């Protein structure tokens, strides 16, 4: 990845389209997205269900390939990379937070957080994973399995896992969607806290317009396009 | 796949795999059971066979009776020959023949015995075990009672039971009296005689001489066993003695051959059973594929998560390959454990049946072979689903895919699957003692697999088509539609049940058809035509009176009599036998002495298929009638010559005609029949068959035997029973092994049903919400499983019958009888079994409460 000091945007989508086959014929999911996100910037993405928010994030993560257009992340052109190269790129540069947490059920909290570090060949993977869990307030839950934790705790483990490799880019897809208000706030506290502390770029998909407002910029998606853009407050007041 | 070269990646894969496996073995229990079953069968058969093989090896000297054995029929070794042998080392000479032993008294009881007359040197190796304290020498010593010489003898316990006598009793054999001093518990050189018609009876040479059973032409064998100095080159020794006595008619067997009869049988049975065991393993392999697929389906989210976290596909593949192989190795280890230990249970039967002193031991080679089969099977069947799982898109985590997952594995993994499958076939082929048989098996397995795979696809399509038609018409059978939909919906177990159950059933039907056919030959068809008794060793001087007795005895419905001589084919078309290329199926005719006869008219049960039968008063150069099938194997026909060694005299005869012989009538027949005018003067005996009405047969036997103590009567029913018993034991073992293939099929079926249980429960709940009753659902399940079971049974029945027909007619060269009863019975039982197992697997769905399941969704 290019240096964060680079004037170049960390994410650049140019005329990105995605069309997928379905039983009823081809479905246009993204219809020409143009977007540039600067390093360290936080971008909130809002819009109704089916507007293409998650798909755009998948494209940014290299989990889905654009049918048309160009995707450049950290200076790397995804079109030139094969699946394994994309996996390695994600490992080194991107952290993802899901609505449904997606922890590996057979592994403890500590092991879940250690996975990306182990994949990166870090010798102190477990020490660092433990530190990340401390940061999200789960230092006492290291050996617990996902099934032994609440939804809020699981999402905090997922956050710790996403930040473990100190990625340049965090993609969060409705991170509070499955949580109640208090747990949701706790997770958002941690997310924005870590983003601010590490200077990470954040793309946050949410249905909560108020939450999106805390980002530098808010994009509104409709029918596979960016229908509008507004400036956010770029200020997040941690819940007490 | 570049990361494949990165060793660190394997260690990381191992770490991740280990963590995932902490979740337990639940998803793998059936897979492990499938592998354990097949591996146990193969390891068990191999270990059993190796144990017997080792005993044969260890006791080879005792089994052969010496380092070398020279066997002559009818004639003893000449003085020169014997002198040569005596110079080489200690020699033991024995003579063997079949004879009648009779109790002494008003109404003597008679039994056929395998008589063995031994010299003082017997046995050179090993030991004859008697009950009581007596040594063999003491037991065989002769004594005088009231001026009459009584010869010592021992016999196997069966003879004591059959004649209802105790040790110390007197019996008559031929013209001599013998005192049976002890029971013979173990005969060191007995294991080579696989087919025995009566208990062993051992006496001295003097006893045999006194019995006057040694008559010219008597069916008697003389065996000379020699103990040679250790380390001698046996092949060179054989060559030397053959050079010294080029015309000697003996057959030489050396230690290297051990007990060739039993050794070859062992090899054949080992192969036969191993291949049946392999079928169980192949069926289990389908279970492996199914279990791996189900497990990986449940891991889709985890795999996608790994990918989101940056794990390359190669790493994912390794993580799950390691997990699957750890589980597979667990199953294989359990199979090996059972396979290594279980044969101990069968050893007692071998000890008693073969008189072989076998000891249980662990044998590495069969276990390694079974493990290799297990690993290759696991790889062959697991690689494909693993390779597909490798391609799971990470996008799964964000939403359900719009298009279904129809991902083809990468080319290199398709190639790896093919290599594993080919290695499995190669292992079966190259380790087989009979390559032909193994090749046919492999071909059969592939064809069966393809047929059932094709059938699954036909059923899927047919049920889909029928379902559409039913939907179009306003049907009153909505649940029939549901049953049909279950047959073709994604994840339907129909294909897997068809494959696994179908293959197991095909093997089972094949064996049932073969067994049924052979049983029909032995116990139903033969006795209807077979004579009551064979009388052998009738001397030429006794022929006239024999004819009189037999023709006037009440109840006799027919009899045949033919002279019998022994001869060896020494040259074919003037070329020595050793230099001829004789086909395997005709080799028996040149391997050792054969019986032949001379006749003016063709015997019953033969059909002239080439040339002409001679005139009844033929006088001219030697001509013969020859077995057409053997002639074909030798590549000769009418007009060609065969040279015979008849008691040391060479006679060359021209083939005048060829006969197709049906030996199954058990009438008198010979592969070689001379025209009259050549053999009348040669030493010979006569053979006769006598058919008598039930109840009258024993009286005929008694009339002949009381008049001619030297004549031996073979009860055809007893002989058939002996053969049927031996065959029955093999058939039992084969059926037990084939059952393992069926059990593996049931395990796979259970696994397939279990894998789809959650979807089924949901379906049942939705249908119940819509108003379906439990009875409706039950009906739909029965229709679904009955359709699968019936299809599997019908095709397995057809394929099994075809395979059975091929084996019976082409390999065993026996007549084929179609056995519809066996077929229909097996098909019905199996259809019911599929319905029953299917129902047991789904009955929970019927009783599920709707609300918790609907809420959970």
Which of the pair, B650 or B23, is modelled with greater confidence? Answer: B650
* pLDDT tens-digit series, residues B809-834: 877 667 788 888 878 888 888 888 88
Under an 8 A CB cutoff, do A104 and B399 touch?
A: no
What CA–CA distance (Å, rounded) separates B152 from A48?
109
Residue B856 pLDDT greater than 60, yes or no: no
Compute the average pLDDT of residues A43-58: 91
Helix/strand/coil (H/E/C) assignment for every residue in B542-553: HHHHHHHHHHHC
Q: What is the pLDDT of residue A238?
A: 54
pLDDT per residue as tens digits for the range B425-445: 999 889 887 788 788 888 888
Interchain pair B309, A119: CB under 8 A: yes
Give percent of chain B with pLDDT exceeding 70.
89
Check whether B572 has a pLDDT greater than 80: yes
Q: Hey, is the C-beta of B304 within 8 angstroms of any chain A C-beta?
A: yes
Provide mean pLDDT across the span B619-645: 91
Question: What is the C-alpha separation between B71 and B75, in angstroms, rounded?
Answer: 10
Q: Select from A22, A54, A98 the Cβ nearest to the Cβ of B402.
A: A22
pLDDT over 80 (residue B264)? no
Is B397 in contact with A98 (Cβ distance < 8 A)?
yes
DSSP symbol at B601: S
Predicted pLDDT at B403 = 41
Q: What is the mean pLDDT of residues A156-180?
A: 91
Q: For residue A240, is pLDDT > 60?
A: no
Compute the nearest-CA separation of B298 from chain A (Å).
11
Beta-strand relationship, B200-204 and B129-130: unpaired
Q: Give the closest of B309, B397, B399 to A91, CB-based.
A: B309
Question: Chain A residues with CB inside 8 Å of B310's CB?
Answer: 87-92, 94, 116, 119-120
Nearest chain B Cα distance for residue A116, angstroms:
6
What's residue B186's pLDDT?
A: 84
At B4, the pLDDT band (50, 70, 90 cuts) reads very low
Q: Which of B222, B207, B142, B197 is nearest to B176 (CA)?
A: B207
Q: Which of B406-415, B468-477, B745-754 has the lowest mean pLDDT?
A: B468-477
Residue A91 is nearest to which of B310, B394, B395, comparing CB atoms? B310
Within an 8 Å CB–CB cutoff, is residue B307 touching chain A?
Answer: yes
Count how many pairs of residues, chain A against chain B, have C-beta atoms within 8 Å.
92
CA distances to B195, B430, B516, B603 from B666, in Å = 17, 39, 20, 12
**What DSSP state is assigned to residue B100?**
E
- Rounded to a whole number of angstroms, the distance from the CA of A96 to the nearest CA of chain B is 7
ipTM given for this complex: 0.71
pLDDT of B634 strictly over 70:
yes
Q: Do A87 and B399 touch (CB under 8 A)?
A: no
Q: Which of B271-285, B460-474, B524-538, B780-794 has the highest mean pLDDT?
A: B780-794
A144 touches chain B (CB under 8 A): no
Lowest mean pLDDT of B172-181, B459-468, B519-528, name the range.
B519-528
Pick A84's closest partner by Cβ from B308, B312, B395.
Answer: B312
Q: Identify the band that residue B849 occupies on the pLDDT scale cut at 50, 70 and 90.
A: low
Nearest residue on chain A to B10, judged by CA atoms? A119
Q: In whole angstroms, what is the distance from residue B850 CA to residue B259 CA?
A: 70
**Residue predicted with more confidence, B813 or A93:** A93
Residues written for chain A: 240
A112 CA: distance to closest CA in chain B (Å): 10
Q: Mean pLDDT score of chain B, rounded to an integer?
A: 83
**What pLDDT is stored for residue B400 in this prediction?**
47
Contacts of B88 by beta carbon, 8 Å cutoff, 6+ apart: B226, B228, B237
Report helix angle B313-341 to B364-390, nearest 10: 150
Contacts of A158 in chain B (CB under 8 A): none
Q: Does A97 touch chain B if contact means CB atoms closer than 8 Å? A: no
A20 compared with B85, residue with greater pLDDT: B85
Contact B3 A84 (CB under 8 A): yes
The verdict on a CB contact (< 8 Å) between B305 and A104 is: yes
pLDDT computed for residue A192 by the predictor:
92
Report the predicted TM-score, pTM, of the whole model to 2 decimal places. Answer: 0.72
Residues of B in contact with A96 (CB under 8 A): 308-309
Residues of A in contact with B304 (CB under 8 A): 102
Q: Given an 8 Å threshold on Cβ–Cβ distance, is B16 in contact with A54? A: no
CB contact set of A179 (below 8 Å; sequence gap of 6+): A151, A152, A155, A187
Best mutation target, A28, A29, A56, A63, to test chain B (most B CBs within 10 A):
A63
- B395 to chain A: closest CA residue: A63
Strand, helix or coil at A77? Answer: strand
Q: Which of A20, A78, A84 has the highest number of chain B CBs within 10 A, making it the mutation to test binding with B?
A: A84
Window from A217-221, B561-565, B630-634, B769-773 with minimum mean pLDDT: B769-773
Q: Which of B8, B21, B312 has its CB closest to that of A121? A: B8
As a whole number of angstroms, the distance between CA B441 and CA B272 comes to 10
Label residue B499 by pLDDT band (50, 70, 90): confident
pLDDT value of residue B732 = 80
Alpha-carbon distances, residue A170 vs A92, A131, A165 (angstroms)? 12, 19, 11
Secondary-structure percent of chain B, ordered helix, strand, coil, rounded to 5: 60, 15, 25
User: For residue A121, what pLDDT is reported?
Assistant: 80
Q: What is the pLDDT at residue A3?
A: 42
Dihedrals φ, ψ of B794, to 5°?
-65, -45
Chain A residue numbers with beta carbons less than 8 Å from the beta carbon of B23 are 105-106
Q: How confident is the model at residue B406 (pLDDT cuts 50, 70, 90)?
A: low
**A106 at the B interface (CB within 8 A)?**
yes
Q: Residue B64 pLDDT more than 70?
A: yes
CB contact under 8 A, A84 and B402: no
A208-217, B152-161, B254-263, B787-796: least confident range: B254-263
Q: What are the tens digits of pLDDT across the range B586-628?
A: 777 777 777 889 998 888 777 899 999 999 888 889 999 999 9
Q: pLDDT value at position B768?
A: 66
- Burial tier of B592 (Cβ tally within 10 Å: 0-12, 13-18, 19+): middle
Residues of B (389-428) whose Cβ lies below 8 Å from A: 393-395, 397-399, 402-403
Interface of B with A in 8-27 (CB under 8 A): 8, 12, 15-16, 19-23
Residues of chain B in contact with residue A83, where contact means CB-CB under 8 angstroms, are: 312-313
pLDDT for B373 equals: 93
Query: Residue B789: CB partners within 8 Å, gap ≥ 6?
Result: B501, B830, B831, B832, B833, B834, B835, B838
For an interface test with B, the pick among A24, A76, A101, A104 (most B C-beta atoms closer than 10 Å) comes out as A104
The answer to whether the Cβ–Cβ distance between A106 and B313 falls below 8 Å is no
For residue B7, pLDDT over 70 is answered with no
Task: Please tell me the predicted confidence (pLDDT) of residue A37.
Answer: 96
> CA A146, CA B107: separation in Å to the nearest integer?
91
Across the interface, of B301, B311, B394, the residue whose CB is closest to A119 is B311
Nearest to B309 among A27, A55, A115 (CB): A115
Check A102 against B21: CB less than 8 A apart: no
Q: Contact B328/B29 with Cβ under 8 angstroms?
A: no
Nearest residue to B401 (alpha-carbon basis) of A82, A102, A23, A17: A23
Cα(B473)–Cα(B106) distance, integer angstroms: 89
CA distance linking residue B534 with residue B690, whole number of Å: 7
Of the pLDDT bands very low, low, confident and very high (cuts 50, 70, 90), residue B5 is very low
Asked whether the beta carbons of residue A120 and residue B402 sit closer than 8 angstroms, the reply is no
pLDDT at B857: 47
Q: Sorting pLDDT into bands at 50, 70 and 90, what band is A7? A: low
Closest Cα in chain B to A106:
B20
Taking an 8 Å cut-off on Cβ atoms, the answer to whether A118 and B12 are in contact is yes
- Say whether B600 sits in a helix, a strand or coil: coil
B12·A119 Cβ contact <8 A: yes
Query: How many alpha carbons fall within 13 Å on the CB side of residue B572?
Result: 20
A57 touches chain B (CB under 8 A): yes
B609 vs A: CB within 8 A: no
CA B322 from chain centre, in angstroms, equals: 38
Q: Do A115 and B306 touch (CB under 8 A)?
A: yes
Taking residues B655-679, report their average pLDDT.
84
C-beta atoms of B397 and A102 within 8 A: yes
**Cβ of A84 and B21 within 8 Å?**
no
- Quote the pLDDT of residue B96: 93
Helix (H, G, I), strand (E, B) or coil at A170: strand
Mutation pick from B22, B309, B401 vs chain A, by most beta carbons of A within 10 Å, is B309
Inspect the interface and report whether the beta carbons of B309 and A161 lie closer than 8 Å.
yes
Structure tokens at B817: 């009888």
């Amino acid at each position: 990845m290019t240096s964060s000091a680079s004037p170049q945007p960390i994410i650049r989508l140019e005329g990105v389209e995605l069309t997928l086959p379905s039983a009823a014929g081809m479905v246009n999911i993204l219809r020409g997205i143009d977007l540039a996100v600067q390093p360290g910037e936080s971008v909130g993405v809002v819009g109704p269900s089916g507007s293409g928010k998650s798909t755009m994030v998948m494209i940014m993560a290299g989990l889905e390939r654009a049918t048309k257009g160009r995707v450049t992340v950290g200076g790397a052109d995804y079109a030139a990379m094969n699946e394994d190269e994309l996996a390695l790129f994600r490992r080194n540069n991107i952290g993802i937070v899901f609505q449904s947490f997606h922890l590996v059920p057979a592994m403890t909290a500590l092991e879940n957080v250690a996975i990306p570090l182990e994949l990166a060949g870090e010798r102190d993977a477990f020490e660092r994973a433990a530190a990340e869990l401390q940061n999200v307030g789960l230092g006492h839950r290291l050996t617990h399995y996902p099934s032994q934790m609440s939804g809020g705790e699981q999402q905090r483990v997922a956050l710790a896992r996403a930040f473990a490799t100190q990625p340049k880019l965090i993609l969060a897809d409705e991170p509070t969607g499955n949580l109640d208000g208090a747990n949701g706030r706790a997770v958002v506290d941690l997310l924005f806290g870590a983003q601010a502390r590490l200077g990470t770029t954040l793309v946050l998909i949410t249905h909560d317009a108020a939450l999106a407002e805390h980002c530098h910029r808010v994009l509104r998606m409709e029918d596979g396009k960016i229908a509008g853009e507004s400036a956010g407050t770029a200020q997040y007041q941690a819940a007490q | 796949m570049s990361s494949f070269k990165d060793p660190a990646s394997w260690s990381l894969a191992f770490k991740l795999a280990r963590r995932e496996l902490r979740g337990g073995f639940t998803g793998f229990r059936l897979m492990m059971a499938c592998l354990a079953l097949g591996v146990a069968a193969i390891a068990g058969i191999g270990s059993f066979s190796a144990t017997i093989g080792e005993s044969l090896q260890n006791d080879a000297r005792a089994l052969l009776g010496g380092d070398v054995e020279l066997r002559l029929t009818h004639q003893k070794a000449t003085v020169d020959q014997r002198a040569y042998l005596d110079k080489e080392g200690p020699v033991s000479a024995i003579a063997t023949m079949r004879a009648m032993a009779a109790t002494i008294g008003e109404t003597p009881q008679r039994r056929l015995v395998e008589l063995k007359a031994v010299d003082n040197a017997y046995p050179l190796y090993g030991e004859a075990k008697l009950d009581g304290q007596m040594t063999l020498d003491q037991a065989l010593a002769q004594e005088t009672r009231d001026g009459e010489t009584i010869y010592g003898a021992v016999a196997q316990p069966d003879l004591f039971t059959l004649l209802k006598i105790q040790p110390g009793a007197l019996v008559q054999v031929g013209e001599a009296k013998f005192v049976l001093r002890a029971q013979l518990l173990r005969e060191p050189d007995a294991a080579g005689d696989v087919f025995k018609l009566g208990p062993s009876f051992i006496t001295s040479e003097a006893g045999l001489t006194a019995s006057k059973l040694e008559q010219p032409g008597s069916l008697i064998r003389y065996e000379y066993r020699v103990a040679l100095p250790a380390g001698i080159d046996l092949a060179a020794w054989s060559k030397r003695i053959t050079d010294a006595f080029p015309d000697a008619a003996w057959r030489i067997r050396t230690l290297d051959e051990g007990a060739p009869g039993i050794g070859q049988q062992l090899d054949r049975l080992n192969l036969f059973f191993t291949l049946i065991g392999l079928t169980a393993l192949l069926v289990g392999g389908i279970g492996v594929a199914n279990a791996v697929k189900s497990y990986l389906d449940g891991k889709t989210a985890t795999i996608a998560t790994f990918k989101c976290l940056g794990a390359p596909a190669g790493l994912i593949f390794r993580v799950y390959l390691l997990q699957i192989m750890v589980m597979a190795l667990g199953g294989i280890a359990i199979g090996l454990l059972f396979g290594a230990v279980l044969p101990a249970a069968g050893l007692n039967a071998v000890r008693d049946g073969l008189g072989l002193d076998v000891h249980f031991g662990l044998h590495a080679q069969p276990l390694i072979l079974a493990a290799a089969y297990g690993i290759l099977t696991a790889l062959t069947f697991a690689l494909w689903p693993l390779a597909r799982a490798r391609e799971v898109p990470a996008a799964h985590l964000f939403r359900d895919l719009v298009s279904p997952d129809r991902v083809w594995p990468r080319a290199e993994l398709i190639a790896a699957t093919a290599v594993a499958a080919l290695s499995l076939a190669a292992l079966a082929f190259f380790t087989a003692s009979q390559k032909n048989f193994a090749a046919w098996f492999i071909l059969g397995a592939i064809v069966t697999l393809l047929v059932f795979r094709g059938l699954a696809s036909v059923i899927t399509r047919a049920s889909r088509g029928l379902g559409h038609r039913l939907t179009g018409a306003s049907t009153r059978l909505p649940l029939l539609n549901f049953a049909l939909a279950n047959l073709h919906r994604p994840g339907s177990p129909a294909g897997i049940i068809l494959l696994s159950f179908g293959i197991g059933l095909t093997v089972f039907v094949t064996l049932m058809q073969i067994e049924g056919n052979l049983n029909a030959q032995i116990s139903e068809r033969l006795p209807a035509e077979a004579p009551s008794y064979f009388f052998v060793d009738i001397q030429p001087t006794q022929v006239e009176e024999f004819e009189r007795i037999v023709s006037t005895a009440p109840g006799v419905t027919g009899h045949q009599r033919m002279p019998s001589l022994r001869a060896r084919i020494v040259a074919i078309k003037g070329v020595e036998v050793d230099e001829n290329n004789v086909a395997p199926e005709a080799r028996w005719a040149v391997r050792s002495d054969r019986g032949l006869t001379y006749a003016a008219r063709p015997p019953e049960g033969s059909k002239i298929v080439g040339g002409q039968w001679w005139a009844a008063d033929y006088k001219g150069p030697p001509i013969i009638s020859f077995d057409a099938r053997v002639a074909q194997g030798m590549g000769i026909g009418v007009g060609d010559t065969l040279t015979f060694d008849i008691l040391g005299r060479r006679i060359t005869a021209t083939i005048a005609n060829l006969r197709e012989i049906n030996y199954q009538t058990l009438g008198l027949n010979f592969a070689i029949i001379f025209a009259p005018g050549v053999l009348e003067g040669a030493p010979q005996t006569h053979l006769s068959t006598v058919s008598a009405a039930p109840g009258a047969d024993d009286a005929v036997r008694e009339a002949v035997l009381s008049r001619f103590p030297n004549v031996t009567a073979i009860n055809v029913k007893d002989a058939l029973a002996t053969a049927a018993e031996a065959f029955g034991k093999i058939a039992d073992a084969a059926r037990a092994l084939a059952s393992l293939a069926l059990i593996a099929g049931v395990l796979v079926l259970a696994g397939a049903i279990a894998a789809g249980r959650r979807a089924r429960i949901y379906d049942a709940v939705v249908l119940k919400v819509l108003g379906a009753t439990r009875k409706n659902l039950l009906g739909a399940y029965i229709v679904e499983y009955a359709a699968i079971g019936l299809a599997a049974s019908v095709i397995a029945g057809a394929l099994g019958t075809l395979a059975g027909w091929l084996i019976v007619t082409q390999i065993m060269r026996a007549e084929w009888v179609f056995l519809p009863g066996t077929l229909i019975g097996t098909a019905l039982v199996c259809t019911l079994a599929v319905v029953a197992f299917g129902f047991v697997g789904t009955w929970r769905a019927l009783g599920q409460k709707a609300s918790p399941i609907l809420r959970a969704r």
